[in-house]
């Protein structure tokens, strides 16, 4: 009787193997969602493709947010469930205090404000790690993406 139970379990385990880690495609759709005198809200999407029969989890840890070459914030996300055999995106969102952007800018507060208002754009870089975990196995994806984004005033 025990053999009848063990054999289907073994077949199930063999058929649901992790062939390879999910494929990290890109980080894209970087944009300023809102900006005010107090903060700038930035979002982006991390695109993945999971070809495995099983899911897993992804988590971003300590992704540096760099604006115009100046590190202004660190972003982390909650654990995201990876769907089996599917393309999916992970939303990345960070709220950057405006004070951090302008005070760390070489031109100071006034120079940073004037530069941003005149250009209505800034270079935003996400640099860090997204970690995939399943069955005690983990793999880190290095993220390093820079994009020019428009400021909504």
Residue that is written with structure tokens 């909504």 in the block: 152
With H, G, I as helix, E, B as strand and everything else as coil, classify residue 6. Answer: helix
CATH class of 18-150: mainly beta
- Asked if residues 68 and 146 have their Cβ atoms less than 8 Å apart, the reply is no
Structure tokens at 149: 């984004």
List per-residue pLDDT tens for the chain, 153 residues long.
555 555 554 444 444 455 578 899 998 898 888 878 788 888 999 999 999 888 899 998 889 998 878 888 888 888 989 998 999 998 889 888 877 666 666 555 445 555 655 567 788 899 999 999 888 888 999 999 999 888 765
With H, G, I as helix, E, B as strand and everything else as coil, classify residue 22. Answer: coil
- Residue 15: DSSP 8-state: H
- Asked if residues 112 and 82 have their Cβ atoms less than 8 Å apart, the reply is no
The domain limits of the chain are 18-150
The DSSP code sequence of 53-108 is SS-EEEEEEEEEEEETTEEEEEE----EEEPTTEEEEEEEEEEEEHHHHHHHSTTH
In this prediction the pTM is 0.73
Give, for 20, the enclosing helix (H) or strand (E).
none
């Amino acid at each position: 009787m025990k053999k009848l139970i063990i054999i289907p379990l073994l077949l199930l385990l063999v058929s649901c193997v992790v062939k390879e880690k999910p494929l990290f495609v890109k980080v894209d759709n970087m944009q300023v969602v809102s900006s005010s005198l107090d903060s700038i809200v930035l979002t982006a999407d991390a695109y993945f493709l999971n070809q495995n029969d099983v899911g897993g989890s992804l988590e971003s840890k300590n992704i540096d947010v760099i604006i115009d070459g100046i590190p202004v914030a660190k972003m982390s996300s909650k654990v995201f469930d990876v769907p089996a055999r599917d393309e999916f995106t992970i939303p990345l969102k960070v709220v950057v205090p405006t004070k951090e952007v302008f005070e760390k800018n070489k031109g100071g507060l006034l120079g940073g404000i004037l530069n941003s208002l005149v250009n209505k754009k800034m270079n935003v870089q996400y640099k860090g790690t997204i970690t995939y975990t399943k069955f005690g196995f983990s793999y880190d994806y290095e993220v390093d993406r820079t994009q020019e984004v428009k400021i909504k005033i």
